[in-house]
Amino acid sequence: MIKITFPDGAIREYAKGSTALDIAKSISEGLARKVLAASVNGQVWDATRPILEDSTLKLLTWSDTDGKSTFWHSSAHLLAEAVESLYPGVKFWVGPAVDNGFYYDMDLGGQQITEEDLRKLEAKMAELAKKNEVYQRKEISKGDAVKYFSDKGDEYKLDLLQNLKDGEITFYTQGGFTDLCRGPHIPNTGFIKAVKLTNIAGAYWKGDEKNKQLTRVYGVTYPSQKELDEYLVLLEEAKKRDHRKLGKELGIFTFDDEVGPGLPLWMPNGAIIIEELEKLAKESEERAGYKRVVTPHIAKESLYITSGHLPYYQDSMFPPMELEGVKYYLKSMNCPHHHKIFAAEQKSYKDLPYRLAEYGTCYRYEQSGELFGLMRVRCLHMNDAHIYCTREQFYEEFKAVNEMYLKYFKIFGIDKYVMRLSLHNPAKLGQKYIDEPELWKETETLVRDVLIRTNTPFVEVQDEAAFYGPKIDIQIWSTIGREFTLATNQVDFAQGRRFKLEFTNRDNQTENPLIIHRAPLGTHERFIGFLLEHYAGKFPVWLAPLQVKILPISDKFLDYAQNLLQSLKNADIRAEIDDRSEKIGKKIRDTELSKVPYMLVIGEKEMNDNKVAVRRQGKGDLGVKTVDEFIEGVKLEIRSRSSE
Amino acid sequence: MIKITFPDGAIREYAKGSTALDIAKSISEGLARKVLAASVNGQVWDATRPILEDSTLKLLTWSDTDGKSTFWHSSAHLLAEAVESLYPGVKFWVGPAVDNGFYYDMDLGGQQITEEDLRKLEAKMAELAKKNEVYQRKEISKGDAVKYFSDKGDEYKLDLLQNLKDGEITFYTQGGFTDLCRGPHIPNTGFIKAVKLTNIAGAYWKGDEKNKQLTRVYGVTYPSQKELDEYLVLLEEAKKRDHRKLGKELGIFTFDDEVGPGLPLWMPNGAIIIEELEKLAKESEERAGYKRVVTPHIAKESLYITSGHLPYYQDSMFPPMELEGVKYYLKSMNCPHHHKIFAAEQKSYKDLPYRLAEYGTCYRYEQSGELFGLMRVRCLHMNDAHIYCTREQFYEEFKAVNEMYLKYFKIFGIDKYVMRLSLHNPAKLGQKYIDEPELWKETETLVRDVLIRTNTPFVEVQDEAAFYGPKIDIQIWSTIGREFTLATNQVDFAQGRRFKLEFTNRDNQTENPLIIHRAPLGTHERFIGFLLEHYAGKFPVWLAPLQVKILPISDKFLDYAQNLLQSLKNADIRAEIDDRSEKIGKKIRDTELSKVPYMLVIGEKEMNDNKVAVRRQGKGDLGVKTVDEFIEGVKLEIRSRSSE
């Protein structure tokens, strides 16, 4: 018998050689039908592989990332089987799972796969899946493996074999298809109920453009047709809401080759959104007692040695500039500069909590290949702040930060979010984590309490804290259900000491403050990218670059339009006149397309009555209102940052 | 006879060998008494040096920079004469004129000069000056010159002689003192009526710390005691108003060794002033139809090759960072980034004028030794904008920019200012200046017209334009009469073409726009430095970091103080309570010292009547007011940006 320890700590005995699937069945048949793979002693395994010793076990299903990627990797094998049956002689390179599905790279030996062919391959995959073929694992000697692929004439797999050690090589076979593969795989093909091949692309062998170009087929599979359909709808919607597409159409941002990749230039409409977000941050931070500061974008090497960014964070920093024999670095974070402001004047406990805020612009190095629109950039405008406080003040301060997050979620209509509380590992104190067991316990408890008492949904993750304290990563979901990671909210006991930040306590002794690092609105780049998708570019009035468009029915009403424009401007409403000699229908259509929230149609009647006919983007006619009535309504909508 | 051409173009004939002084006398004795030197064919000469050929002539007096520096350089010789008479055996290095006076470096051979000794030297200088000794110029062969200083045993002057060519060496003698000197000098010592030696310092020979340390004596002289006295009062006042001293006392900015020289960290009080200035800029720019943009602080080398910053401006730029084989530079100006935004979308004449504004942060390299508080820094937050317009729009656009300058001068109580209009030199078209004679004539005329029609005081300077167009440098004077150079206002016909910026004109042809570069508030760094001196740290209410301090007479009134504080905050007034257990007299004194504009003293009577006893910084008691009355008054003062 072997002892199996479950995630909840329960321990049960099973016959030696039991598989994860056996164990699942012993719990319930329903559960067994969902098991895709298993985590055995922290390693992802086939659910059908015999367990031979005492182990920890976690059953992996569709709701686990590892379960999903096992499912998709097995789908890549299914794709290969289908391709091989329709394109005899095809040779395969690699077929991994990716973020949303899988791909397989293949050498079709001069044959082509067209969009139409993808439909045929999907049908073939579905047909093969229904056979419930088992994914059979087989350990094989290097000699036998080489012989197998030599006989098959597959130079790609032979190339892969070169780098593998004898005794560590496995084959997986389902139906008539055998692949060199480390695994793991799902129990059988029957789990794959819905298939969509999404794309064909060229890919150089080993990513090197000097090599032969292979064909890469992308696909995604689901355990039910319903889930696949939902995903495809989401995909379609996400395409329409692609922040890069909308960002260009709406004049939000642009990139320029001579400026450089990952360095967005914010166009006038983007700058308005930035201003509004900064205004929001400033207002809430001022109300919460923050002080603003402004710090340079560079500093000497020695600052980053003190902070520990050098060498620990060097890979994410821009290379230095050497000036008068001294190296200067672009800042990748604002904290060291803020610490210097804290230290510039003597502090006593009466000055704490001391909260320094700055929409600071940081520069981080990301590889060109990793850059992606506003989501992965090299220039980041961060809604940053650092709170220096005593231990006694910590709970209230952390709670206030958390409340600020929740307030923002409400403003932006973010209904789904999870905070990921990353804790330390007591076994690694003094190595991965600063050796302050009491402070760890204390702050982790305080942070957890805040989350519980404020009913904030959260999950706990062991052994993922920052080296200087526990942290919270915030994950949010856009209206269409895509997940984004926003900024982190961190506790820090280390930097205060590294920077010799001190205050005099009530007993007239010097102490180091605790520091909270927080950035509820994250960076402009990622947040505006998120908002573009979230609102599909149809920003709520307070954020809309242009809030009102005045549409005169003919040139006769241009004077009235001008008066109206002035009244709107006096009320700080961003407005323009469509003074083109176009039919009103076209003016309305064009304005709808440019996603301006309000349209004011004006003709004879409106002019004579000093009124406006109001249309709301996406909602149509709202009827005729007096100018004052309309202005008051919009002002209220802006002031309340309504996103109805 | 020789022909002398005067600055007004008049030409008169004089005997060959006439001196500038002779010519001045021929005009008027009064004028002659003021002539310190002369500009002969563009070179500054002794007024007593015979002119031997047809020449242009400008007589230089105290009101000319060159006249002043000749006066001060001659005063340095007078100082040397005085030192030599009191410290026999002294050896001299160099004694130049500087911005406000002169200095002389000397080797006293072990002797000391104390503060007291300076008074003795001043008396000696005054005594020598009264002798009206002539500054006698003498051309001398290198051999004779070397012999003279070898006999004197003066190794310093011998060192200087090494680098001089035979035939170009002159001695100047006044009274018993002879110096190796290129000149020029004032006619005689009698012009020097008032002497003040201001400082003694050490200075390494040739500025190299490995060399011997010499003694540097600083001084300033004037043509009348009255002017010297006024200057000394100004100096005293300027010391009190020193922006570095006030900046520290008031928590405006700080420098940190680990961040780097020339990189100010803006503390909370400084950030408030920055915010207010930016608000002012945004308001006036929005009203004037500018669009805001936000651009990164770096760009690829190729951008600066296109712009011409590389290589022409390279010395003022930070060195590059090399990333993935590409050089990136910190931006030293915002224009190239703005041009890229202009170019990002197609433009027609209907889109012009297109005005892009950004409080962009630029980085410029200044040598460590040149850095000075906020006045010479390496990080500059610029109130920048670029206006892209057609030729027809240029006059109105330039006029509007000029009006913005004048509006700002009014807000900040800047009564004295001069615009320096720098023009091109037609002889250098195609070399120093872009070869567009018509555009030069046209825009210079337009710019001059704007200045004349708006009654703006200005001076014209030949041959000092930018290579791409005429420019205006703005000089302003602080309350205590010190001069500052603010930003420039420039016309640009070149960059539009270099960047291939285009718009479609009414005839459907592509044209390059004219560009106006403007920065009315200059940089935060220099402008706030100026304001600190200008206001002596006593900022008008709208700019004051803390606007109101509430001073409860005792703890009994703390609740009322809290209510009051909330009312002030609700009205967006920056306020604090002095809740220390101090006597009210001390609270008032301390608040006066920290330069807070308003103090509200509250006691029994005020609390019962819901009133406040108002004191104004520097003005004392303003009487008792209701809370509402006070708040309304302050709100008005803030809104109108009053600086009464």
Query: Identity (one letter) of the amino acid at A89?
Result: G
Q: Which pLDDT tens digit goes with each residue over B202-248?
A: 999 988 888 999 999 999 999 999 999 999 998 899 899 999 999 99
Phi and psi, residue A126, nearest 5° = -60, -40
Which residues, in sequence order, are CB contacts of B433 under 8 Å at separation 6+?
B424, B425, B440, B465, B467
Compare all CA atoms of chain B with the CA of A336 and give the residue at the minimum distance: B259
B464: DSSP letter? -
- CA end-to-end span of chain B: 61
Provide the token pair at A304.
């980053």
CB contacts, 8 Å: B324 with chain A: 367-368
Judged by CB atoms closer than 8 Å, whether chains meet at A254 and B344 is answered as yes
Among candidates B259, B319, B341 on the partner chain, residue whose Cβ is nearest the Cβ of A321: B319
Pairing label, strands A503-504, B194-204: unpaired
| Buried/exposed code over A178-198 (b: 16+ C-beta within 10 A; e: otherwise) | bbbbebbbbbbbebbbbbbbe
From the CA of A329, how many Å to the nearest CA of chain B? 9
Q: Give the side-chain half-sphere CA count within 13 A for A570.
A: 10
Going across the sheet that includes B298-300, the strands are: B298-300, B326-330, B321-323
A468: DSSP letter? T
* Contact indicator for A62, A34 with CB cutoff of 8 Å: yes
Question: Residues A477, A470, A519, CA angle at the centre, nearest 5°?
Answer: 50
The angle that helices A558-570 and A627-639 make with each other, rounded to 10 degrees, is 40
Q: What share of chain B is helix, strand, coil (3-state, %, to 5)?
A: 40, 25, 35
Mean pLDDT of B350-373: 94
pLDDT band at residue A398 using 50, 70 and 90 as cut-offs = very high
Q: Which pLDDT tens digit goes with each residue over A175-186?
A: 999 999 999 999
Residue A215: in which H helix or E strand, if any? strand A213-222
Taken in order B189, B193, B199, B200, is the CA torsion positive or negative? positive
Which residues 228-257 of chain A have a CB within 8 Å of chain B? 251, 254, 256-257
Tally Cβ neighbours within 10 Å of residue B207: 8
DSSP string computed for A311-360: HHTGGGSPPPEEETTEEEEE-S-SHHHHHHHHHHS--BGGG-SEEEEEEE
pLDDT band at residue B439 using 50, 70 and 90 as cut-offs = confident
Q: Which pLDDT tens digit goes with each residue over B261-309?
A: 999 999 999 999 999 999 999 999 999 999 999 999 999 999 999 988 8
Percent above pLDDT 70 for chain A? 100
A99: DSSP letter? T
Mean pLDDT of B526-555: 96
Per the prediction, chain B carries an average pLDDT of 94
CB contacts, 8 Å: B266 with chain A: 293-295
Judged by CB atoms closer than 8 Å, whether chains meet at A259 and B303 is answered as yes
From the CA of B340, how many Å to the nearest CA of chain A? 7
Any CB–CB contact under 8 A between A275 and chain B? yes
How far is A359 from A275, CA to CA, in rounded Å?
11
How far is B334 from B339, CA to CA, in rounded Å?
9
Among the listed residues B107, B89, B370, the one whose alpha carbon sits nearest the alpha carbon of residue B217: B107
Among candidates B259, B274, B296 on the partner chain, residue whose Cβ is nearest the Cβ of A294: B274
pLDDT band at residue B182 using 50, 70 and 90 as cut-offs = very high
Mean pLDDT of B477-504: 89
Q: Which residues pair with A330 in a beta bridge?
A: A298
How far is A150 from B385, CA to CA, in rounded Å?
69
From the CA of B319, how many Å to the nearest CA of chain A? 6
pLDDT value of position B94: 94
Provide the token pair at A594.
């440019």
Among candidates B264, B297, B330 on the partner chain, residue whose Cβ is nearest the Cβ of A361: B297
CB contacts, 8 Å: B331 with chain A: none
Q: Which residues pair with B475 in a beta bridge?
A: B418, B485
Judged by CB atoms closer than 8 Å, whether chains meet at B268 and A292 is answered as yes
Q: Which pLDDT tens digit goes with each residue over B558-568?
A: 999 999 999 99
Mean pLDDT of A218-226: 96
From the CA of B339, how many Å to the nearest CA of chain A? 11
Provide the token pair at A53.
């010793």
Among the listed residues A633, A636, A643, A570, the one whose alpha carbon sits nearest the alpha carbon of residue A600: A633
pLDDT at B73 exceeding the cut of 90: yes
Among candidates A258, A291, A358 on the partner chain, residue whose Cβ is nearest the Cβ of B306: A258
Which residues, in sequence order, are CB contacts of B397 under 8 Å at separation 6+?
B353, B387, B389, B516
CB contacts, 8 Å: B337 with chain A: 259, 265
Judged by CB atoms closer than 8 Å, whether chains meet at A328 and B356 is answered as no
The angle that helices B65-86 and B115-129 make with each other, rounded to 10 degrees, is 110
Percent above pLDDT 90 for chain A? 82
Residue B86, classed as helix, strand or coil, is helix
Among candidates B266, B302, B326 on the partner chain, residue whose Cβ is nearest the Cβ of A293: B266
How far is A154 from A162, CA to CA, in rounded Å?
13
Judged by CB atoms closer than 8 Å, whether chains meet at B363 and A306 is answered as no
pLDDT at B487 exceeding the cut of 80: no
Among candidates A264, A298, A345 on the partner chain, residue whose Cβ is nearest the Cβ of B363: A298
* Contact indicator for B448, B399 with CB cutoff of 8 Å: no
Which CA distances in Å does B276 have to A252, A337, A545, B404, B540?
Answer: 26, 22, 23, 17, 11
Among candidates B324, B345, B363 on the partner chain, residue whose Cβ is nearest the Cβ of A368: B324
CB contacts, 8 Å: B501 with chain A: none
Percent above pLDDT 70 for chain B? 100
pLDDT at A487 exceeding the cut of 80: no
Query: Identity (one letter) of the amino acid at A95?
Result: G
Judged by CB atoms closer than 8 Å, whether chains meet at A379 and B300 is answered as no
Any CB–CB contact under 8 A between A379 and chain B? yes
Question: Residues B274, B279, B284, CA angle at the centre, nearest 5°?
Answer: 130
Question: Residues B265, B269, B275, CA angle at the centre, nearest 5°?
Answer: 85
- In angstroms, what is the C-alpha Rg of chain B? 30
CB contacts, 8 Å: A345 with chain B: 251, 267
Judged by CB atoms closer than 8 Å, whether chains meet at A297 and B363 is answered as yes
From the CA of A602, how many Å to the nearest CA of chain B? 23
Judged by CB atoms closer than 8 Å, whether chains meet at A258 and B293 is answered as no
Any CB–CB contact under 8 A between A279 and chain B? no
Pairing label, strands A458-461, A417-422: parallel
Provide the token pair at A293.
């500061």
pLDDT band at residue B501 using 50, 70 and 90 as cut-offs = very high
CB contacts, 8 Å: A363 with chain B: 297-298
Q: Which pLDDT tens digit goes with each residue over B585-621?
A: 999 999 999 999 999 999 999 999 999 999 999 899 9
* Contact indicator for B392, B326 with CB cutoff of 8 Å: no
Going across the sheet that includes A326-330, the strands are: A298-300, A326-330, A321-323
How far is B560 from A617, CA to CA, in rounded Å?
49
Mean pLDDT of B444-456: 89
pLDDT band at residue A432 using 50, 70 and 90 as cut-offs = confident
Judged by CB atoms closer than 8 Å, whether chains meet at A319 and B318 is answered as no
pLDDT value of position A463: 86
pLDDT at A480 exceeding the cut of 90: no
Mean pLDDT of B34-49: 93
How far is A482 from A239, CA to CA, in rounded Å?
12
Tally Cβ neighbours within 10 Å of residue B19: 20
Mean pLDDT of A23-52: 93
Any CB–CB contact under 8 A between A289 and chain B? no
How far is A37 from A44, CA to CA, in rounded Å?
7
Any CB–CB contact under 8 A between A303 and chain B? yes
Any CB–CB contact under 8 A between A345 and chain B? yes
Mean pLDDT of B34-39: 95
CA B59 to chain CA centroid, Å, is 26
E strands present in B63-193: 91-92, 97-98, 101-107, 136-139, 170-174, 177-180
Percent above pLDDT 90 for chain B? 82
Tally Cβ neighbours within 10 Å of residue B83: 24
Among the listed residues B585, B591, B578, B583, the one whose alpha carbon sits nearest the alpha carbon of residue B618: B591
Judged by CB atoms closer than 8 Å, whether chains meet at A265 and B341 is answered as yes
Structural domains of chain A, ranges and CATH numbers in brackets: 2-61 (3.10.20.30), 66-241 (3.30.980.10), 285-534 (3.30.930.10), 548-640 (3.40.50.800)
Provide the token pair at A429.
């104190």
| Buried/exposed code over B227-237 (b: 16+ C-beta within 10 A; e: otherwise) | ebeebeeeeeb
Any CB–CB contact under 8 A between A599 and chain B? no
pLDDT at A368 exceeding the cut of 90: no
The alpha-helical segments, DSSP class H, found in A521-626 are 524-534, 558-570, 584-593, 604-609
Q: What is the predicted ipTM? A: 0.85
Compare all CA atoms of chain A with the CA of B378 and give the residue at the minimum distance: A296
Mean pLDDT of B464-484: 88
From the CA of A48, how many Å to the nearest CA of chain B? 47
pLDDT value of position B208: 83
Q: What is the dihedral of CA A324, A327, A331, A337, to 10 degrees?
A: -70
Provide the token pair at A185.
């795989």
Q: Give the side-chain half-sphere CA count within 13 A for B632.
A: 5
pLDDT band at residue A94 using 50, 70 and 90 as cut-offs = very high
CB contacts, 8 Å: B259 with chain A: 295-296, 299-300, 303, 337, 340
- The torsion region of residue B547 among left (phi > 0), alpha (psi -120 to 50) and beta comes to alpha
Q: Which pLDDT tens digit goes with each residue over B402-411?
A: 999 999 999 9
How far is A599 from A614, CA to CA, in rounded Å?
6
From the CA of B242, how many Å to the nearest CA of chain A? 19
CB contacts, 8 Å: B363 with chain A: 297-298
* Contact indicator for A183, A170 with CB cutoff of 8 Å: yes
pLDDT value of position A95: 95
Tally Cβ neighbours within 10 Å of residue A468: 22
pLDDT value of position B494: 85
E strands present in A115-193: 136-139, 170-174, 177-180
Pairing label, strands B620-626, B611-616: antiparallel
* Contact indicator for B241, B539 with CB cutoff of 8 Å: no
pLDDT at B644 exceeding the cut of 80: no
pLDDT at B365 exceeding the cut of 80: yes
Mean pLDDT of B372-382: 96
